[in-house]
Each structure stands twice: as C-alpha cells, then as structure tokens.
C-alpha cells in the first residue's frame, strides 16, 4: 500500500492518499533512519508563506506532508487540485491505537507525566516514554540537545513531538540530522490533549463543514482569538497572491 502522487499548492508539496494508507506506510518505515511527518493547517501555511526562510526548509525536509485543513483543501479545489485531508489529530489517534494493539513503545516530547498516565490508561498495551522540555526550550541549544538525545536513546518506532509550531518542526529536523536516530516522528501540536480529554474536538458535522476552528476558538477564546480572527484569515490574501504556485 503506497501513498498517492504529490500535489503542489501554494508552493508546498502535499502527499495524497487515505488515512489508512498513511498509517500503513508510517508503520512500515519505523525501523529505518529517522524521518518526520508534518500536517500543516491554515495557521502553519500563513507562517510558511509569510516567513519561508524558517518554515519552508523544514517542510521540504519532511518525509510526508499531509493537509490538516478543509479550508486549505477547498482553496486547492478552486485551483483544480484535489487535496485530501488527513488531520494530525486523526493520524495520531489511529497510530496510537495501532501501537497499543501491537504493544509498541512510543516516545512523546512535550506532554506531562499526568497526560502520559491518562494515555496509558486509555490505551492498554501501550508503553509510553516521555520527555517534557521547559517553556522556551527551543532557544537553548542544551535543551534541544536533551530532546534529541532522548529520542535517540529510546529508539522508539514512533515519536510524537507535541511542542507547538515551529518548535516541533525545528526539533524534528534536528533529530533527523542525528545519524543514530531511528523511527518516524510526527509533529502533532495539541493532538495528545484530544486523546487524553484535556480538550474536546468539534462534533463531526462541524469538522465536515470546515468549522472545527470555530469550535476551538469558542472553547478558548482568550488564547486562540488572535490566531483564528487575525492570523488565519490572512490565508485568503496569501492565496490570491500565490494561487498560481
């Protein structure tokens, strides 16, 4: 089972295929040298288009790039490009469920001990090893190296990096530079919070009509208002500027 052809949209490569194909191919690659998966949403793409010097090399280095946004998918359709949606939250949930079935060890960077305890309770058979770096760790070469060393030492087949964008992508690239790193890393943002119940995803009907962002905004307006009301809407101006790429 293989991922379909790539689609190029707004100057970035996106991999196509179904979520089942993505899960199958990720699990098939866990014994090789470290590679990582990114799942850009609108917020990520705004950052990439406005500051390509930081984000573009990280996305180009990624082994797989899956679209995490129905808004992006619909904008791509206006350009005559079919861009299937594989959200990071769904991909994480599928992979962790499969890891539990196969009694695999997973490594988490970001979540706290209580969150990891909830995860192991909800997924019997899953072995979780975790490292929780301090806030602002990405500015410290020592703390970044501790994260890299943790991933290399564990040798876990699946590595979930949940430290926010662009920290998780920067860290994934640093891990990929290490010659002894193994497994597949996934840059997953808040996906673990959904699995542990700390945050709730939108109802399926809201997800299907592309309004999951509204659900998240209403659930935490103080933290997310700037992202969803100021930053993300810039995607439409950027779309018209870059729509031919």
Query: Domain ranges in the chain?
Result: 6-196
Whether residue 201 has pLDDT greater than 80: no
In this predicted structure, what is the pLDDT of residue 2? 55
Whether residue 101 has pLDDT greater than 90: yes
pTM of the model: 0.92
Q: What is the mean pLDDT of the chain?
A: 92
Within 13 A of 75's CA, how many CA atoms are on the CB side?
24
DSSP helix/strand/coil, 213: helix
Whether residue 225 has pLDDT greater than 90: no
In this predicted structure, what is the pLDDT of residue 3? 61
Both tokens of 4, joined, read 């379909």
Pairwise CA distance, residues 36 & 58, whole Å: 10
For 150-177, write each residue's pLDDT tens digit.
Answer: 999 999 999 999 999 999 999 999 999 9
In this predicted structure, what is the pLDDT of residue 218? 82
Query: Once rounded to an integer, what is the mean pLDDT over residues 125-146?
Result: 96
Q: Please report the beta strands in 119-221, taking only residues with DSSP state E, as ranges in sequence order.
A: 127-131, 158-161, 184-187
């Amino acid at each position: 089972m293989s991922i379909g052809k790539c689609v190029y949209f707004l100057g970035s490569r996106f991999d196509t295929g179904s979520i089942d194909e993505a899960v199958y191919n990720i699990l098939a690659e866990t014994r090789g040298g470290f590679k990582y998966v990114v799942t850009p949403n609108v917020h990520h793409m705004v950052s990439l288009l406005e500051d390509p010097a930081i984000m573009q090399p990280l996305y180009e280095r990624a082994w797989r790039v899956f679209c995490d946004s129905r808004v992006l998918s619909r904008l791509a359709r206006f350009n005559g490009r079919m861009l299937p949606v594989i959200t990071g939250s769904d991909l994480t949930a599928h992979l962790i469920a499969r890891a539990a079935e196969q009694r695999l060890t997973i490594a988490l960077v970001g979540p706290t001990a209580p969150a990891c305890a909830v995860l192991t309770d909800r997924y019997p058979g899953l072995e979780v090893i975790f490292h929780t770096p301090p806030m602002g760790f990405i500015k410290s070469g020592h703390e970044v190296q501790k994260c890299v060393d943790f991933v290399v030492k564990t040798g876990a087949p699946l590595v979930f990096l949940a430290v926010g964008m662009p920290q998780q992508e920067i860290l994934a690239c640093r891990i990929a530079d290490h010659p002894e790193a193994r497994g597949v890393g996934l840059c997953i943002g808040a996906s673990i919070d959904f699995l542990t119940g700390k945050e709730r995803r939108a109802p399926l009907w809201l997800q299907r009509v592309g309004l999951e962002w509204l659900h998240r905004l209403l659930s935490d307006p103080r933290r997310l208002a700037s992202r969803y009301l100021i930053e993300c809407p810039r995607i439409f101006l950027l779309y018209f500027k870059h729509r031919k790429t």
